[in-house]
Chain A
Amino acid sequence: MGNNVSKKDAFAKHLKGMLGGLRVTLRTMLKPAVTVQYPHEQEAPPTRARGVIALLEENCTVCMLCARQCPDWCIYIEGHKEKRPARREGGKDRTVSVLDRFDIDYALCMYCGICVEVCPFDALHWSPEFEYSESSIAHLLHDKDKLGEWEATVPVAEPLEIGAEVKGKK
């Protein structure tokens, strides 16, 4: 008799646990889906997302800081110096550095953002664009023209949260 009762209790306990779980799944079933049918629908990545690095070529002075600071050295830069006429009448000729090659190997890149941060002339920017997968790993080496194309996708910097220190002009 006693055995019977405990069996009944165990059954009731099992049923209660099961029904509790089924209630959760039923509730979730009635909610709209949280998934997105990529690539037919797309979610916009956040503005800060580190998708791809864009290069603004005219700002680059071939200082090599980014190539040197890169943790796995995946930036390849070559450049040469050129003489340009002076800005003012009677001044000395200027020497400018001209960029010949600026390649980022996205097969190696760790997306840390150190190159963007160390650039003293604001030539590199992050863009949240992420759809540039290739069927061959060699095509992941983006040259300066391709990096320049990404520049159009760079978003405007978003405002900061309440309480953030606003950087004044120096």
Chain B
Amino acid sequence: MPKFEVDPAVHRGLADARLNVEIDNGDMILNLGPQHPATHGTLRLVVRLDGERVVASDVVIGYMHRGYEKLTEYRTYPQITTLINRIDWLSSFANEVPFVHAAEQLMGIEAPPRAEYIRTALTELSRIATFLLFLGEMGLQVGAITPAFYGFRDREYVLNAIESATGGRFHPNFNRIGGLKDDLPWGWIAETRESMRKVLKSCDEFEDLVVSNPIFQKRTRGIGIIPAELGASYGVSGSNLRASGVDWDLRRDGKPYLVYNDLDWKVWTHSDGDSFARYWVRLQETRESARMVLQLLDVMPSGPVMTKVPKIIKVPEGEVWVNTENPLGEMGYYVISKGATGPFRVKIRTASLSNVSIAPWLLRGVYLPDIITVLASLYFILGDIDK
């Protein structure tokens, strides 16, 4: 076969011609990621632009797939709690709770009341830690760097509280089937009360610094609006859906879990559904969570934190679906057990996957700089998307 040779000048001409066609077409393909700082991980976004407006976009996921559903089939129940910490690494304690509840329901045991109260307090603390990072980082995405520092500073107080109780800063692994690993250390309640006051104060700061800032409002108001029905049909959950005016919170409306029914709290909603509404709802929820923790610390019952469980945990045959309100939205585990030391199959429903699935619809027609704002306001964690 003769070698097909083309003069390099022709190649150059062809490349120019293609470029001209693309320019004439008026569309440009822009590739964001997978290593883009604004995507909190490895999310790839392919955007088709007409001038500065987005015509179409595609979200490419899976760069961080770690195969949790398969891994759980080869681990025992106590080993799984340490793995599933890493699904959503910002609110790792909240990841453990639904799984441990699923195993407890299958075994027909219940954690003692003190353990449930501590679990609730730590879940809310991890919610505050997650949201404080969002409140700061959202400022960063619109070009203000100061809120990011404030967010990280205030998150430290919460992480210190989690670390001194559980021993792990990001990956507590504190839940055990039938209770908790250990009781709280001496002085924890007083320290946490102090840091919750700091959190409430810093929420006021965010209100002054970010929410009432005219530039922030111009960058977020009326941009990236999720209509309530459409959001629900995409499976968007959590604060994203509440920011569209849907009054739905699994802590109140779902199957009762932990001790939320004993507390005095409120579900916050916003009717706008835009980026600003999502920020505002999360700010209010941070406040509400801090108030909930303060209430929990006041009424913490005494007693053991662990029920009697066998040394080798074998979960009887059965299936159970447990879903909870995680900081990012609805998270659930469908656990099928065949009576062994480990589950037969686990299906993990993570909030971020559904939340980010609306992005192609949401990004249609927005300006290029607003892509980052809209994505940041959806608030997803890549580990939570790719599992």
A114-B79 CB under 8 A given contacts A18-B213, A20-B212, A163-B114: yes
Q: Judge whether A163 and B168 touch: CB under 8 Å.
A: no
Report the interface size for chain B: residues with CB under 8 A from the other chain: 44
Q: Roughly how many angstroms separate A114 CA and B76 CA in the complex, as a whole number?
A: 12
Binding site for A on B (CB under 8 A): 75-76, 78-79, 82-83, 114, 146, 150, 153, 156, 160, 163-169, 171, 173, 181-189, 205, 208-210, 212-214, 217, 300-305
Q: Judge whether A50 and B304 touch: CB under 8 Å.
A: no
Q: Judge whether A112 and B186 touch: CB under 8 Å.
A: no
Q: Judge whether A69 and B78 touch: CB under 8 Å.
A: yes
Q: Judge whether B82 and A110 touch: CB under 8 Å.
A: yes
Q: Judge whether B153 and A18 touch: CB under 8 Å.
A: no
Q: Roughly how many angstroms separate A25 CA and B164 CA in the complex, as a whole number?
A: 30
Q: Judge whether A160 and B185 touch: CB under 8 Å.
A: yes
Binding site for B on A (CB under 8 A): 13-14, 16-18, 20-21, 23-25, 28, 34, 45-50, 69, 71, 110-114, 117, 126, 158-165
Q: Roughly how many angstroms separate A46 CA and B167 CA in the complex, as a whole number?
A: 8
A164-B305 CB under 8 A given contacts A69-B78, A114-B78, A117-B181: yes
Specify the chain A residue showing the minimal Cβ separation from B144.
A21
| Chain B residues in 8 Å Cβ range of A50 | 167-168
Q: Judge whether A163 and B301 touch: CB under 8 Å.
A: yes
A-B contact count (CB 8 A): 104
| Chain B residues in 8 Å Cβ range of A34 | 153, 156
Q: Roughly how many angstroms separate A117 CA and B81 CA in the complex, as a whole number?
A: 14
Specify the chain B residue showing the minimal Cβ separation from A15.
B214
Q: Judge whether A24 and B184 touch: CB under 8 Å.
A: no
Q: Closest approach, in angstroms, between the C-beta of A21 and any C-beta of chain B? A: 5
| Chain A residues in 8 Å Cβ range of B212 | 16-17, 20-21
Q: Judge whether A48 and B209 touch: CB under 8 Å.
A: no
Q: Judge whether B82 and A114 touch: CB under 8 Å.
A: yes
Q: Judge whether A165 and B208 touch: CB under 8 Å.
A: no
Q: Judge whether B302 and A24 touch: CB under 8 Å.
A: no
